[in-house]
C-alpha cells in the first residue's frame, strides 16, 4: 500500500505542476499559529463534498449555471486550499444552454476507489439531464465525459464503495403517495455496476419519512462505514435557516436504519438569525490519516440583516465519536470561525495575487462564464497583456451566455477595480462591470453612448425592473472603474490614474445582491461585461488588469 500511495502522490504532484495556472481561491496568508479559519472556501462555494487519499484532501462544490462546472480544491492540512481545476471544463461535458436561474449542477459527491476518482452529480433544468458520474485518475483532470444514469430520480446522488468492492448509489425521491406540494422525501439505494455503467439489482428504500421525524427536503445522502455499522448522513430542513444535518445507522447496508437520538447532530436554526453563521447543513465527513474526523458543510455569513450576498460558503467543523455516534462541534454545539489545527504539518498554498494582469494565455481558475460559452468572445492573445472582450448581442438579463467573465465576491467589505479601454460606437454598446446575482437582480457600472456623448451609468435591476441610479459624462478611452463595499453600502467610482477618484454613486443598497431577495442557490459575482444589446457589432473592450481585495 505504501508503494501504491507513493506512486499516486507522484502522479498527483506531476498533474498539479503540469497545470498551466494554479491559483489559491481562498486568499488567506499562511497562518503560523496553525488555525483553520472558517469559511475555508469564501464566497459562492456551496454543497461541499470531501475525500482523502493518503495525505491529500479534495473538495468539490456545486456551480449551478456557471461554467466551468464543479470547482475542485486540494489541501494537505484542511486549512489552506488551492483550486486545481474544474471537473467539467469542456463544452461537450456540460450543456448549460438557456439554463434557468439556479439550474444546472447541483450537489456533487467526490470519492476515490482503486486508483480512480469519481464525482457523481445532478444536472437540473436541462432536457436529457438528470444524474451522472465522471471519473479521472488525476483530480486535476482531465475528467471523463458524463455517464448518464437511467431511472435515477432525485437530486444530490452519492457513491459508496463497500469492503467487497461493490459500488452503491444513494439518492432521494418522492414517495408515491406524496402530494405535489409536499416536501417529504425518502432515501433510496441501489448497486452501481461500474463496468456496465448502469444501476443494477434491487432498489431499496432505506430511509422513510417516519424515521426522519417529519423532516422535510431530505437530500444529500452520504454513506460511511465504521466499526461494523453503516452510517447514513443526510441534509434536511431546506437550505435556508432551518437547514440541518441528521444521521442514522444500520448493521446492514439496506437497513433498517435507526436514528441518532441526538438528531439533528448539527444545526444553527436554534441560534436565531443574528448569529454570524447561519443555514448550516449539507455535510460530508472525512477521517484524517491520524484517525481524527472532520465535517465539511455549507453555511452563510449574514450581514446587514438576514442577507448574504456571498451565497453559501464552505465551512469545516471537528467531529468526535461517542457511543457509536458522531458528535459535531464537541463542547460547543455550533460551528466556530476558528479551530486549532495541530494534527499534521501546516501546508500553506500559493497566495493568489490581488491584481490579475492577464499576462497568461489562459484565464486563471477564479474566472467563470455564465452558462456554456458557445462563442470565443474573449482573447488573451489578440492584444498581449490584455483581456479582450468582444461585444455580443446577448444581454445579461436573458437566459443566454453573454460576454460575461466574472469572479466571486468573497468578502462582506471589498474593493474591486479594472483598467478598461473602450470607445462605444452606438447607444446599444456598453462595457464595464456588473455585480451579478442573477438575471433579475444585479448592479451595473457601464460606459455607453448617449446623444453622441460617452457616459458612465450606474443601474440597479431588482426583481426584473431596471432603475438608473446615476450617470456622468466621461470621455476618456482609458479609464479605471472601481466598485467598493462596506457591508451593504456599495459605491462606484472612476479614475484615470488609480490615485484620484471621482465618485459616480455612493451608498447604493447592496441587498439587491442578497439571496434573501433574489432567491435561488448562488452568490454574487463581480464581472467584466460587454454587450451590443441585440445589435451586431465588431467592437470590443480591452481590460489591462483586474484587482480585488478585502477591506476592513
- Domain end, chosen from 223, 247, 273, is at 273
Residue 210 is predicted with a pLDDT of: 55
384 shares a domain with 247: no
**pLDDT at residue 209 greater than cutoff 70:** no
**pLDDT at residue 213 greater than cutoff 90:** no
| Mean per-residue pLDDT, 71-95 | 97
* Closest C-alpha to 308, from 350, 280, 287: 280
**Is residue 47 flagged as an active site residue?**
yes
Q: Using CA atoms, how far apart are residues 309 and 276, in angstroms rounded to an integer?
A: 14
Give the chain's mean pLDDT: 92
Tell me which of 219, 313, 394, 411 is the catalytic residue: 219
| Mean per-residue pLDDT, 158-181 | 89
Are the C-beta atoms of 46 and 311 separated by less than 8 Å?
yes
538 shares a domain with 395: yes
What confidence tens digit (pLDDT) does each residue in 136-156 have? 999 999 999 999 999 999 999
Min mean pLDDT across 10-14, 57-61, 80-84, 381-385 is at 10-14
382 shares a domain with 261: no
Are the C-beta atoms of 25 and 41 separated by less than 8 Å?
yes
533 phi and psi, to 5 degrees? 50, 55
- Residue % of the chain over a pLDDT of 90: 85
278 lies in some domain: no
**pLDDT at residue 176 greater than cutoff 90:** no
Half-sphere CA count of 537, side-chain side, radius 13 A? 26
Q: Using CA atoms, how far apart are residues 42 and 409, in angstroms rounded to an integer?
A: 8
What confidence tens digit (pLDDT) does each residue in 234-285 have? 999 999 999 999 999 999 999 999 999 999 999 999 999 999 999 999 999 9
Residue 429 is predicted with a pLDDT of: 98
535 shares a domain with 402: yes
Confidence band of 215 (pLDDT split at 50, 70, 90) = low
287 lies in some domain: no
Confidence band of 346 (pLDDT split at 50, 70, 90) = confident
361 shares a domain with 249: no
379 shares a domain with 236: no
What confidence tens digit (pLDDT) does each residue in 425-460 have? 999 999 999 999 999 999 999 999 999 999 999 999
Min mean pLDDT across 10-14, 27-31, 346-350, 482-486 is at 10-14
361 shares a domain with 246: no
Confidence band of 118 (pLDDT split at 50, 70, 90) = very high
**pLDDT at residue 11 greater than cutoff 70:** no
- Domain end, chosen from 222, 252, 273, is at 273
Confidence band of 33 (pLDDT split at 50, 70, 90) = low
Q: Using CA atoms, how far apart are residues 501 and 472, in angstroms rounded to an integer?
A: 13
Query: How many structural domains comprise the chain?
Result: 2
Residue 136 is predicted with a pLDDT of: 98
**Is residue 313 flagged as an active site residue?**
no
Q: Using CA atoms, how far apart are residues 516 and 240, in angstroms rounded to an integer?
A: 9
Residue 24 is predicted with a pLDDT of: 38
DSSP 283: E
368 shares a domain with 220: no
Residue 174 is predicted with a pLDDT of: 82
Distance of CA 431 to the CA centre of its chain: 26
12 shares a domain with 118: yes
| Mean per-residue pLDDT, 12-22 | 37
**pLDDT at residue 406 greater than cutoff 60:** yes
What confidence tens digit (pLDDT) does each residue in 46-63 have? 999 999 999 999 999 999
What is the CATH classification number for the domain harbouring 259? 2.115.10.20
Q: Using CA atoms, how far apart are residues 336 and 230, in angstroms rounded to an integer?
A: 28
Confidence band of 211 (pLDDT split at 50, 70, 90) = low
300 lies in some domain: no
**pLDDT at residue 192 greater than cutoff 70:** yes
- Is pTM, for the whole model, over 0.75? yes
Q: Using CA atoms, how far apart are residues 305 and 511, in angstroms rounded to an integer?
A: 9
Better pLDDT: 129 or 87: 87
Length of the chain: 552
- Residue % of the chain over a pLDDT of 70: 92
210 shares a domain with 95: yes
Instruction: Tell me which residue range forms the domain holding 455.
Output: 355-550
Better pLDDT: 24 or 373: 373
Confidence band of 492 (pLDDT split at 50, 70, 90) = very high
Residue 22 is predicted with a pLDDT of: 34
170 lies in some domain: yes
90 lies in some domain: yes
What DSSP string runs through 490-548? Answer: EEEEEESSSSSEEEEEEEEEGGGG-HHHH-SS---EEEEEEE-TTS----EEEEEEEEE
**pLDDT at residue 10 greater than cutoff 60:** no
Residue 487 is predicted with a pLDDT of: 98
Torsion angle of the four alpha carbons 168, 242, 410, 508, in this order, in degrees rounded to the nearest 10: 150
What is the CATH classification number for the domain harbouring 364? 2.60.120.200
Residue 212 is predicted with a pLDDT of: 53
Amino acid at each position: 500500500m505504501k508503494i501504491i500511495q507513493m506512486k499516486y502522490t507522484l502522479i498527483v504532484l506531476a498533474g498539479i505542476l503540469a497545470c498551466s495556472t494554479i491559483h489559491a481561491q481562498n486568499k488567506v496568508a499562511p497562518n503560523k499559529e496553525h488555525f483553520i479559519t472558517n469559511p475555508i472556501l469564501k464566497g459562492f462555494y456551496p454543497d461541499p463534498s470531501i475525500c482523502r487519499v493518503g495525505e491529500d484532501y479534495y473538495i468539490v462544490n456545486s456551480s449551478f449555471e456557471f461554467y466551468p462546472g464543479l470547482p475542485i480544491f486540494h489541501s494537505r492540512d484542511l486549512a489552506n486550499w488551492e483550486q486545481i481545476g474544474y471537473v467539467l471544463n469542456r463544452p461537450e461535458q456540460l450543456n448549460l444552454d438557456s439554463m434557468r436561474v439556479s439550474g444546472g449542477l447541483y450537489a456533487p459527491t467526490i470519492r476515490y476507489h482503486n486508483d480512480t476518482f469519481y464525482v457523481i452529480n445532478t444536472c437540473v433544468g436541462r432536457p436529457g439531464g438528470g444524474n451522472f458520474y465522471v471519473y479521472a485518475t488525476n483530480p486535476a483532470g482531465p475528467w471523463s465525459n458524463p455517464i448518464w444514469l437511467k431511472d435515477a430520480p432525485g437530486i444530490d446522488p452519492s457513491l459508496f464503495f463497500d469492503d467487497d468492492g461493490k459500488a452503491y448509489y444513494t439518492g432521494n425521491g418522492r414517495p408515491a403517495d406524496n402530494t405535489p406540494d409536499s416536501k417529504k422525501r425518502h432515501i433510496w439505494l441501489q448497486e452501481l455496476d461500474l463496468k456496465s455503467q448502469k444501476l443494477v439489482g434491487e432498489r431499496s428504500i432505506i430511509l422513510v419519512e417516519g424515521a426522519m421525524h417529519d423532516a422535510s427536503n431530505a437530500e444529500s445522502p452520504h454513506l460511511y462505514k465504521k466499526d461494523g455499522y453503516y452510517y447514513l448522513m443526510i441534509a434536511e430542513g431546506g437550505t435556508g435557516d432551518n437547514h440541518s444535518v441528521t444521521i442514522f445507522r444500520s448493521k446492514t447496508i439496506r437497513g433498517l436504519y435507526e436514528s441518532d437520538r441526538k438528531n439533528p447532530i448539527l444545526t444553527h436554526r436554534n441560534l436565531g438569525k443574528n448569529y454570524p453563521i447561519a443555514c448550516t447543513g449539507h455535510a460530508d465527513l472525512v477521517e484524517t490519516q491520524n484517525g481524527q474526523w472532520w465535517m465539511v458543510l455549507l453555511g452563510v455569513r449574514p450581514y446587514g440583516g438576514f442577507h448574504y450576498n456571498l451565497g453559501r460558503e464552505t465551512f469545516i467543523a471537528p467531529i468526535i465519536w461517542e457511543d457509536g455516534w458522531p458528535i459535531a462541534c464537541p463542547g460547543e454545539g455550533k460551528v466556530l470561525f476558528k479551530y486549532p489545527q495541530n494534527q499534521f504539518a501546516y501546508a500553506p498554498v500559493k497566495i493568489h495575487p490581488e491584481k490579475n494582469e492577464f499576462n497568461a494565455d489562459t484565464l486563471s481558475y477564479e474566472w467563470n462564464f455564465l452558462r456554456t460559452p458557445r462563442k470565443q468572445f474573449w482573447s488573451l492573445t489578440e492584444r498581449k497583456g490584455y483581456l479582450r472582450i468582444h461585444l455580443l448581442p446577448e444581454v445579461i438579463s436573458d437566459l443566454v451566455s453573454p460576454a460575461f467573465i466574472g469572479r466571486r465576491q468573497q468578502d462582506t467589505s471589498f474593493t474591486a477595480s479594472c483598467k478598461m479601454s473602450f470607445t462605444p460606437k452606438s447607444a446599444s454598446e456598453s462595457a464595464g462591470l456588473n455585480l451579478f446575482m442573477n438575471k433579475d437582480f444585479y448592479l451595473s457600472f457601464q460606459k455607453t453612448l448617449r446623444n453622441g456623448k460617452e457616459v458612465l451609468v450606474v443601474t440597479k435591476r431588482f426583481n426584473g425592473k431596471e432603475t438608473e441610479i446615476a450617470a456622468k459624462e466621461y470621455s476618456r478611452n482609458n479609464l479605471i472603474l472601481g466598485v467598493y463595499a462596506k457591508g451593504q453600502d456599495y459605491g462606484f467610482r472612476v479614475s484615470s490614474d488609480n490615485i484620484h477618484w471621482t465618485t459616480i454613486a455612493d451608498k447604493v443598497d447592496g441587498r439587491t445582491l442578497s439571496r434573501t431577495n433574489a432567491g435561488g442557490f448562488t452568490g454574487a459575482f463581480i464581472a467584466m461585461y460587454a454587450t451590443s444589446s441585440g445589435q451586431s457589432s465588431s467592437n470590443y473592450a480591452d481590460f489591462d488588469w483586474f484587482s480585488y481585495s478585502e477591506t476592513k
